[in-house]
Amino acid sequence: MSYFFTSESVSEGHPDKVSDQISDALLDEFLAFDANSKVAIETLVTTGQVVLAGEVKSKTYVDVQETARRVINQIGYTKAEYRFDGDSCGVFSAIHEQSPDINRGVDKADKMDQGAGDQGMMFGYANSETDNFMPLPLDLSHRILLELAIIRREQKVMTYLRPDSKSQVTIEYNDDHSPKRVHTIVVSTQHDDFDADEPMLAKIKKDVIEILIPRVKAQLPKRLQDLFADEIIYHVNPTGKFVIGGPHGDTGLTGRKIIVDTYGGRGAHGGGAFSGKDPSKVDRSAAYAARHIAKNMVAAGVAREMLVQLSYAIGVAKPVGVYVETRGTAIAGLSDSDISEKIQAIFDLRPAAIEQRLKLRNPIYRETAAYGHMGRQPQTVTKVFESPYNGRIELEVELFTWEKLDHVDQIKSVFGL
């Protein structure tokens, strides 16, 4: 029998994502002027207020208030009627210095002996459903909201859109776990109060179905376009009006969308959030490393699906465990334990080695903080940072390095493929 699987995404204007983006923008500011900064910043946003808290060890100084306001305005919260905007909201900082008891386990005389910044287990996942080796329900959910944000900024159609939105996609799968069809699409988007309720809601639903979804569908390869049939069920703003939204409608917190950030529930998750944390925290860096491994392994043809778990002890460099599960999709003759052993021979999984391999000591994190940390397009960009305390610098950085298929040939050689 066929079965159904659902994943959701939230937009850059969702309160939790506003918090994530502020935390990661602050991290980038610290790393831009001091690459060795140790940062763990949490953000809370609510009506007219931003609260920053956490621990930092750095040689530089960052104007946290200016950074937070800039991020909020860039997201699109620029009007007083939203009851939360970058120019008028309050910004309260309770950031203090990192505990020396934590730092002593991380910094070592030999950089490569750097210990993990915390204990825990991190997961990476990949499958062959999509060209970016991500689960299809989550990939479509992200694409819907990315395109909705583009439409909002263009201000040509759907000019009533506001920043806060959510999406959800349900896929019907065949018995062999291949996608059969798109079953249900849910879109909830904040909007201006531009008409009486009934015609307003009808207009939004019509625009989602006739403008938004065709633009998303056009981005996909034909095999995935064919999954969009006439009988798709649509729920557009199913609760009715969505005028009150953003941090005024719901308090936001850093790290509260960890499933959206990763695999939409299709893989596993160790529970640690990403945003606001420098790469010495393996919650972040090891999760990226595990995704890098899983994606390259699936791309090389070792398996059609792979889950990788890395686990660490605080202050210890080498992982205490490397677990692999291919769910019966590995090439004939290979056990999951065989694959795990070969992975450890190919990839150095010490935190310092991960930082070097994936170039994680660069200010690359603001871009990860909305629309998923995984499945994104690797690219090189120039970023500019200006500070009244540190001057102006331009840095060329690589984004989403963990998505690069740069180990496929080596994997094929090791596995004899």
Q: What does the block give as tokens for 271?
A: 């529970």
**166 annotated as a binding-site residue:** yes
- Split the chain (417 residues) into runs of 10 and give each run's mean pLDDT: 95 98 98 96 97 96 96 96 94 87 58 79 97 98 98 98 98 95 98 95 98 97 95 95 94 97 96 96 97 98 97 93 96 93 96 97 98 98 91 96 98 94
Nearest CA-CA partner of 165 in 141, 188, 139? 188
Q: Write down the pLDDT at residue 284.
A: 97
**269 annotated as a binding-site residue:** no
CB 261 within 8 Å of CB 99: no
Q: Write down the pLDDT at residue 187.
A: 98
φ, ψ of residue 27 in degrees (nearest 5): -55, -45
**21 annotated as a binding-site residue:** no
3 state DSSP class of 233: strand
Give the residue carrying structure tokens 């090439």.
331
Q: Write down the pLDDT at residue 390.
A: 85
pTM, rounded to two decimals: 0.95
**377 annotated as a binding-site residue:** no
CB 338 within 8 Å of CB 346: no
Q: Write down the pLDDT at residue 103.
A: 56
∠ CA 180-188-68, rounded to 5°: 120
| Position 311, amino acid | S
Q: Write down the pLDDT at residue 101.
A: 58
Statement: 16-104 belongs to CATH 3.30.300.10? yes
Nearest CA-CA partner of 161 in 218, 70, 79? 79
CB 315 within 8 Å of CB 116: yes
Q: What whole-number distance in Å separates Cα of residue 292 and Cα of residue 398? A: 15
Residue 197 CB neighbour total at 10 angstroms: 10
- State the virtual CA torsion across 95, 63, 386, 46 in degrees, nearest 10: 80
**59 annotated as a binding-site residue:** no
**318 annotated as a binding-site residue:** no
Domains 3-9+135-244 and 16-104 share a fold: yes
Q: Write down the pLDDT at residue 417.
A: 87
**96 annotated as a binding-site residue:** no
Q: Write down the pLDDT at residue 259.
A: 98
**396 annotated as a binding-site residue:** no
Candidate CATH numbers 3.40.50.300, 3.30.300.10, 3.20.20.70, 3.40.710.10; the one for domain 3-9+135-244: 3.30.300.10
| CATH class of residue range 120-127+259-415 | alpha beta
**256 annotated as a binding-site residue:** yes
**250 annotated as a binding-site residue:** yes
Q: What whole-number distance in Å separates Cα of residue 232 and Cα of residue 280? A: 44
**277 annotated as a binding-site residue:** yes
Q: Write down the pLDDT at residue 341.
A: 96
Q: Tally the C-alpha atoms within 13 A of residue 298's C-alpha that lie toward its C-beta.
A: 29
Q: Is 150 exposed, middle or buried (0-12, 13-18, 19+ CB in 10 A)?
A: exposed
What are the DSSP calls for 106-153, one per residue? Answer: H--SSGGGPPBSS-EEEEEEEESSSTTS--HHHHHHHHHHHHHHHHHH
Q: Write down the pLDDT at residue 5.
A: 98
**241 annotated as a binding-site residue:** yes
- Secondary structure string (H, E, C) spanning 49-76: EEEEEEEEECCCCCCHHHHHHHHHHHHC
Domain boundaries, the chain: 3-9+135-244, 16-104, 120-127+259-415
